[in-house]
Amino acid sequence: MACTDIIFRPIGTIHSAHKELDKILIQPVFANGIKGKVVLKPEFIDGILNLQAFSHIYLFYYFHMSQKTRLHVKPYLSDEEQGIFATRAPHRPNKLGMSLVRLASIEGDTLYIEDMDIVDGAPLIDIKPYIKRFDLRRSVRSGWHDEISEDTVSARGRRNYDRGP
Amino acid sequence: MACTDIIFRPIGTIHSAHKELDKILIQPVFANGIKGKVVLKPEFIDGILNLQAFSHIYLFYYFHMSQKTRLHVKPYLSDEEQGIFATRAPHRPNKLGMSLVRLASIEGDTLYIEDMDIVDGAPLIDIKPYIKRFDLRRSVRSGWHDEISEDTVSARGRRNYDRGP
């Protein structure tokens, strides 16, 4: 272990119906209505005080099913190669996942989530609230993503889309 | 080191004019026009292919100046205690920072950033693009943040705000 290593310890676990990596929905916006939950370790429950008043939260987790690292990838929505940092693909040097999800309710140590796109069993690293004032940016250029039609997004952003040979 | 530890290695370093933690601007939206840069390690430069076409990016970094962990905090903008996961404060169990910043330009290994709110020297963990389709959510409740007036935000979201005795 190098002295510059950053060590995080899971604060909980993500539970979802997505058991296989290749069948997963690729973003929460495509997982409309699909439910899941986050179970916190007991020692972190105090940290969610007042979180229930937020409708949307960011979940940060470890892409525990992803082993490869690739600096160029073809994202699910595109046939062009993109730099890994210009995508949300899991094959990143540090396998940090981020999903912006809807928080339905909280009961004890459990957060009930809607629009769940995360693989079952992913170790939870952090939770941050979605704050409109900070996170909603209207005048945005989204690179290669802006060139993809809503039809393409709609077709490819689902399970079992076959990119073809 | 426990077997469940998650180990990340810095992919670069963040450079900014913010040398002291207590003088920092608390969010990129308050750091309007303040510039900084991100220098990538050479082995990761290939990963930024096509990133320059995005106007906004998320930077993920280690809160390297933050030692304490607190599950309840009084955020800069509020006098009420909040759970750490209902805030963006650095005193989190895993000291993962996220800033949504404007990407001005890229030259070689260096990303030039506007609206920089990060402390100088922070180790970079990841970069993700801000994708309007995924990240811009209009119908949002932002909990305690929604109760704070723009005047309060404007007054407190700056350097050297004194919360008083």
Task: Choose the closest CB to B11 out of A49, A52, A94.
Answer: A94
Paired tokens of B157: 């979201």
Residue B105 has pLDDT above 70, yes or no: yes
User: What's the angle, vertex CA A98, arms to CA B38 and CA A40, rounded to 5?
Assistant: 125
Residue A154 has pLDDT above 80, yes or no: no
Average pLDDT over residues A120-128: 97
From chain B, pick out residues whose CB is under 8 angstroms from the CB of A98: 58, 98, 128
If pLDDT is split at 50, 70 and 90, which confidence band does A82 have? very high
Model pLDDT for residues B126-161, shown as the tens digit of each residue: 999 999 888 888 888 999 988 888 888 777 766 444
If pLDDT is split at 50, 70 and 90, which confidence band does A160 have? very low
Give yes or no for B143 touching A (CB within 8 A). Answer: yes
Tell me how crowded residue B74 is: count the other CB atoms within 10 A of its CB.
14
Model pLDDT for residues A56-76, shown as the tens digit of each residue: 999 999 999 888 999 999 988
If pLDDT is split at 50, 70 and 90, which confidence band does B21 have? low
pLDDT at res. A76: 81
| A164–chain B nearest CA distance, Å | 24
Task: Choose the closest CB to A6 out of B50, B62, B93.
Answer: B62
Reported ipTM: the value is 0.89
Both ends of chain A: CA-CA distance in Å?
42
Which domains, and CATH codes, for chain B?
Answer: 12-132+147-155 (2.40.30.70)
CA-CA distance, B121 to A89, in Å (whole number)?
Answer: 27
Closest residue on chain A to B7 (Cα): A7
